[in-house]
Amino acid sequence: MSPPLQLSFLRLIAFRNGDIYYDPQNTDMHEDLIDARGLRDIDRLTNFVRADFMPDNIDDLVDVDKYRLIIHQEEEVFWIDDIRQTIKKKCRYQISRMIVSDHRRILLGGCWIITAGANILRIINGRIVYMNGGIVKYLSGGSISYYRAGLIKHWVDHEGNEIQEECCVR
């Protein structure tokens, strides 16, 4: 069974050498990542695996210690245990960089988890995966996957058309 989209936003390809490839701003699909890297499915298992890094509960998106690594392979991958901790460490680091709970003047692109205490002047072409508190004064060309609480003052699309003047949930 596939996890809920909001939880599995960090889909990745893990390579045998411990490198990871992901692009949560642009895709939630392993196949897109494989195509973007020019990988061949025949190399699967010997060189790379599909994986997700996610918590079990949506409210745990802000706590990197509650995330788990899920390897999507039916066949046994003999090399994965050797690099599992390396992959987790890299994923935790990437997720921790996405969590915003402080003041920021601007976020250009990227994928973000907005929490209480965040005060962001502008987000340009970014993806808010989860918002539970905080204030975004201007969101341009971005998207929101899951919105629990917080305030977005002004939201416009890529052409400058207003999507919503103010949205707020408490």
| CA 49/CA 78 separation, integer angstroms | 11
The answer to whether 117 and 136 are in contact (CB under 8 A) is: no
Mean pLDDT of 21-41: 91
pLDDT tens, position by position, 127-164: 999 999 999 999 998 888 888 888 888 888 777 777 76
pLDDT at 89 over 80: yes
Q: What is the domain partition of the chain in residue ranges?
A: 11-98, 101-169
Percentage of residues in the chain with pLDDT exceeding 90?
A: 58
pLDDT at 77 over 80: no
Q: What is the pLDDT, as a whole number, of residue 62? A: 92
pLDDT at 9 over 90: no
One-letter-per-residue 3-state SS of 77-113: CCCHHHHHHHHHHHHHHHHHHHEECCEEEEEECCEEE
Q: Which residues of 104-134 are buried (b: 16+ CB within 10 A; e: fewer)?
A: beebeebbbbbbeebbbebbeebbbbbbbbb
Beginning with the edge strand found earlier in the chain, give each strand of the sheet holding 68-71 in spatial order: 20-22, 11-15, 48-54, 68-71
